Amino acid sequence: MSFLVSAHEESQESLTSLSRRDTMGSFLPDSSSYELLAVIGRGLDDLMTVNLAQYRPTGEHVAIRRIDLESCTNDMVTYLQGELHVSKLFHHTSILPYKSVFIAENELWVITPFMAFGSARDLICTHFTDGMNELTIAYILLGMLKALEYIHHMGYVHRSVKASHVLVSADGQVCMSGLRSIFSLIRHGQRAKVVHDFPQYSVKVLPWLSPEVLQQNLQGYDSRSDIYSLGITACELANGHVPFKDMPATQMLLEKLNGTVPCLLDTTTIPPEELSLKPSRSGADSGICEGLGAGSIRHSNGEPSSTSAGHPYNRTFSSHFHAFVELCLQREPEKRPSASTLIGHPFFKQIKRRPSEALPELLLPVSPITSCESSRPQDSPSGMASLESGLSHLEVDDWDF
Amino acid sequence: MPFPFGKSQKSPAEIVRSLKENVAYLEKVDAGDKEVSKNLASLKEILSGTGDKEPHTEAVAQLAQELYNTDLLISLIANLQRIDFEGKKDVVHLFSNIVRRQIGTRTPTVEYICAHTQILFMLLKGYESAEMALNCGMMLRECLRHEPLARTVLFSEDFYCFFRFVELSTFDIASDAFASFKDLLTRHKIMCADFLENNYDKVFTEYEKLLHSDNYVTKRQSLKLLGELLLDRHNFSVMTKYISRAENLKLMMNMLRDNSRNIQFEAFHVFKVFVANPNKTQPVLDILLKNQTKLMEFLSHFQTDRSEDEQFCDEKNYLIKQIRDLKRPVAPEEA
């Protein structure tokens, strides 16, 4: 098959010229070409395991998303196929490319570049539990906006914009992923103005979704709903957790419809009395300024990292950052600026250096996973499966023919 | 006559002709060309409008006519490989939109493709090239919505390429090919039944290879599709033929015991048709009788955790009863 040959040539080439590595389809669709290393993540209700792996022909590191299809319903398989199809139609430096996709035993393997800092959510879970600093957030949001600008221009709505869907590579490159819920406004060569479809398998994304997506009314929604989700993500990155977290879905819906607007938690949004208190977490860190019963909101964020420095939200974000978030989180979708417009927002003026120079430094003391700790994968896909199939071959003649 | 669409002051006909020349140039230089991409983007704007602007009906008509006159669709597909990444998607957009075009009850683009069927086969062969497989797949499926075009592909020798494409190791391409394959075999029911009846042996010989595939997804999806095909009432005579053959029953009985529960489950939906058939052939009956006790035992323990699926449980109980009641027909008296 011609494309296999060319794929192989690509990989040979990448040994010598690193710049060519970005070419799509440069990894062989064959599980024996990859050595599985540590498990670096899970997802999709635990159907998916993400491994660090080494691509044998070149020795470079990749991430492999393995999904056990035997645990997936037929509908789920179709849904995953849809995602793969869409991902092949995108080609942008801020969108995580799928380098190779194939079936190994019962598993779907998706090969992607290895993003050594993990997702922005990993970063806030493991280190920046009270939120990241403003400049770091600016780099991440700008990367997301570049991806969204492309996605929207292509006539799609992402529908799953959140911190866990933005990844950072060892050299500070910011990439969006999470294309599973993406929806095309273009059907059969015609571009629709709005979407009415409610994203499947999206229970976990509810806190990020815009009021108009959740509302599911006849007016539908469009790419501006992603801008709302970006605003929520900004709060997530700044506060260390997503607004409306732990709130029952119906209550969250009502809050959003009634115009409750989450915000960045700092000295301008939290009353000074509360900030002077020891960090016994008050209602303020729900991230909802105008929340009704703020006291009723529970937290499971764990203890703040710095007890001596007083309240973790005793800090002040720039007025540009606050303004940016307010623009994104407006209740009326048509008032929210487009991704292209937001890229020019003064909030991003603080970015002076390239992400590759600045981000790894900003993320210190977190360092990217560089070496592959020799923690062997316990659940090697071939092990059990081949044993099972070996056994079954023994009794295959059980029927009398 | 100038048309008022934004930046582009050229008429649709002018853009089409300019694109045709630029594509011809692509062939010579064998490299991407900015002009082609620009022309394609302009055509896309004419067809779908931009932002709030609706497409201009008169401009679309002029564009379509010029596409037919210049055979631009053919040159675009022939040179798709040389067009850049975004340009390829614009070709798909242009193609899909224009195939849908209707004048009253007429679909002029479908008529055009009927007269230039090489377009269909170029698209089909597109699956062999990773860089344009999905683009070609999308255009092909747009064509397959129309019966005359689907018929051309289905009744051609090239249709059998699909049995290879759906097993390609690159999963996204294999999936796309399977979607087209399924469309071909299910969308236009009467035509599909006609095709399957008249090409039974050839098709099912190939199809059986898919059921034996090493690729988990190929196996699972082709088995599911087989069940759907056999249970579709349009395909009654195909089903009758299929369930008359003992080797098909053997295959399904073995798949009932596959490692994969999903494959077992899909096999059950084919197996049940053999058992429910009131006019079983002798070889089929023989196998069922030979395994009568084993089958009853097997089925009573088969996927018992699906107890909430009432239809499945009813069907299972029905099969157990049917198998229990199976009797060897009274042997005709020796003459």
B301 located within any domain: yes
Q: Mark yes or no for CB contact B170/A396 under 8 Å.
A: no
B251 located within any domain: no
Burial (0-12, 13-18, 19+ Cβ within 10 Å), A243: buried
A394 interfaces chain B, CB cutoff of 8 Å: no
Q: What is the DSSP letter of A73?
A: -
pLDDT tens for each residue of B77-116: 999 998 989 999 999 989 998 999 888 999 999 999 999 9
Say which of A1, A7, A392 has its CB closest to residue B259: A392
Phi, psi of B182 (to 5 degrees): -65, -45
At B49, is the pLDDT very low, low, confident or very high (cuts 50, 70, 90)?
A: confident
C-alpha distances in Å from residue B139, one per residue of A87, B100, B267: 18, 11, 33
A400 interfaces chain B, CB cutoff of 8 Å: yes
Q: What is the DSSP letter of A44?
A: T
Say which of A88, A100, A388 has its CB closest to residue B259: A388
Q: Which residue of A has its CA nearest to B173?
A: A85
Q: What distance in Å separates residue A103's CA from the closest CA in chain B? A: 7
A391 interfaces chain B, CB cutoff of 8 Å: no
Q: Give me the helix-helix angle, B34-48 and B85-99, nearest 10°.
A: 30
- For residue A55, give the 3-state DSSP assignment: strand
Assess whether B62 and B7 both reside in one domain: yes
Q: What distance in Å separates residue A333's CA from the closest CA in chain B? A: 16
Assess whether B9 and B103 both reside in one domain: yes
| Res A295: pLDDT | 36
Cβ count near B231 (within 10 Å): 14
| Res B57: pLDDT | 82
Contacts of B170 in chain A (CB under 8 A): 3, 25, 29, 100-102
Note down the domain range covering B226. 142-242
B335 located within any domain: yes
Q: From edge to edge, which strands make up the β-sheet containing A61-68?
A: A34-43, A48-55, A61-68, A107-113, A100-104
Burial (0-12, 13-18, 19+ Cβ within 10 Å), A280: exposed
B103 located within any domain: yes
Domains contained in chain A, CATH given: 31-113 (3.30.200.20), 118-274+313-363 (1.10.510.10)
Q: Which residue of B has its CA nearest to A391?
A: B259
The residue among A149, A196, A192, A143 whose CA lies nearest residue A171 is A143
A102 interfaces chain B, CB cutoff of 8 Å: yes
Q: When comparing pLDDT for B332 and B294, which is higher?
A: B294
Which candidate in A5, A28, A81 is best for mutational testing of the B interface (most B CBs within 10 A)?
A81
Assess whether B214 and B312 both reside in one domain: no
CA atoms within 13 A on the CB side of B233: 0
| Res A209: pLDDT | 94
Q: Rounded to an integer, what distance in angstroms lies between the CA atom of residue A69 and that of residue A102?
A: 12
Assess whether B97 and B3 both reside in one domain: yes
Q: When comparing pLDDT for A308 and B293, which is higher?
A: B293
| Contact (CB, 8 A) for A236 and A163 | yes
Contacts for A348 with CB less than 8 Å, ≥ 6 apart: A138, A141, A142
State the Rg of chain B over Cα: 26
| Contact (CB, 8 A) for A252 and A286 | no
Contacts for B7 with CB less than 8 Å, ≥ 6 apart: none
| Res B234: pLDDT | 96
B123 located within any domain: no
Assess whether B146 and B233 both reside in one domain: yes
Assess whether B265 and B317 both reside in one domain: yes
Assess whether B97 and B10 both reside in one domain: yes
| Res A306: pLDDT | 44
Look at chain B and report how many structural domains it folds into: 3
For B18-48, letters b (16+ CB in 10 Å) and e give: bbbebbeebeeeeeebeebbbbbbbbbbbbb
Q: Mark yes or no for CB contact B100/A190 under 8 Å.
A: yes
B135 located within any domain: no
Q: When comparing pLDDT for B198 and A219, which is higher?
A: B198
Helix H or strand E segment including B174 = helix B171-186
CA B270, B272, B274: angle at the middle one, nearest 5?
Answer: 85
At B173, is the pLDDT very low, low, confident or very high (cuts 50, 70, 90)?
A: very high
CATH of the domain at B63: 1.25.10.10
CA A48, A49, A54: angle at the middle one, nearest 5?
Answer: 135
| Contact (CB, 8 A) for B5 and B56 | yes
Q: Where are the beta strands (DSSP E) in A137-274?
A: 156-157, 166-168, 174-176, 183-184, 186-187, 190-191
- In chain A, positions 171-190, which contact chain B (CB-CB < 8 Å)? 186, 188-190
Contacts of A188 in chain B (CB under 8 A): 96-97, 100, 142
Q: Which residue of A has its CA nearest to B266?
A: A74
Q: Count how many pairs of residues, chain A against chain B, have C-beta atoms within 8 Å.
A: 116
| Res B330: pLDDT | 66
Among residues B242, B275, B302, the one where a domain terminates is B242
* pLDDT tens track, chain A, 401 positions: 333 333 333 333 333 333 334 444 479 999 999 999 999 888 888 889 999 999 999 999 999 999 999 999 999 999 999 889 999 999 999 999 999 999 999 999 999 999 999 999 999 998 899 999 999 999 999 999 999 999 999 889 999 999 999 999 999 999 999 898 899 888 776 778 888 888 888 888 999 999 999 988 888 999 999 999 999 999 999 999 999 988 898 999 999 998 889 999 998 888 888 888 765 554 444 555 543 333 333 333 333 444 445 788 888 999 999 999 999 999 999 999 999 999 999 999 999 998 888 898 899 888 887 644 444 444 444 444 444 444 444 344 578 87
Among residues B196, B211, B242, the one where a domain terminates is B242
A32 interfaces chain B, CB cutoff of 8 Å: no
Q: What is the DSSP letter of B8?
A: B
Relative to beta strand A118-119, strand A166-168 is: antiparallel
CA atoms within 13 A on the CB side of A203: 5
| Res A3: pLDDT | 37
Relative to beta strand A61-68, strand A48-55 is: antiparallel
Q: Which residue of A has its CA nearest to B262?
A: A70
Contacts of A91 in chain B (CB under 8 A): 85-86
Average pLDDT, integer, range B264-291: 95
Q: Mark yes or no for CB contact B171/A188 under 8 Å.
A: no
Contacts for B171 with CB less than 8 Å, ≥ 6 apart: A29, A84, A101, A102, A103, A108, B217
Assess whether B3 and B103 both reside in one domain: yes
| Res A16: pLDDT | 32
Assess whether B285 and B224 both reside in one domain: no
Among residues B98, B116, B134, the one where a domain terminates is B116
B250 located within any domain: no
Assess whether B216 and B290 both reside in one domain: no
Block residue for tokens 């059986």: B208
Q: What distance in Å separates residue B265's CA from the closest CA in chain A? A: 11
B61 located within any domain: yes
Q: What distance in Å separates residue A396's CA from the closest CA in chain B? A: 7
Assess whether B62 and B163 both reside in one domain: no
Lowest average pLDDT, out of A78-82, A382-386, B190-194, B208-212, goes to A382-386
| Res B31: pLDDT | 55
Q: When comparing pLDDT for B192 and B59, which is higher?
A: B192
Structure token pair of residue A378:
């316990």
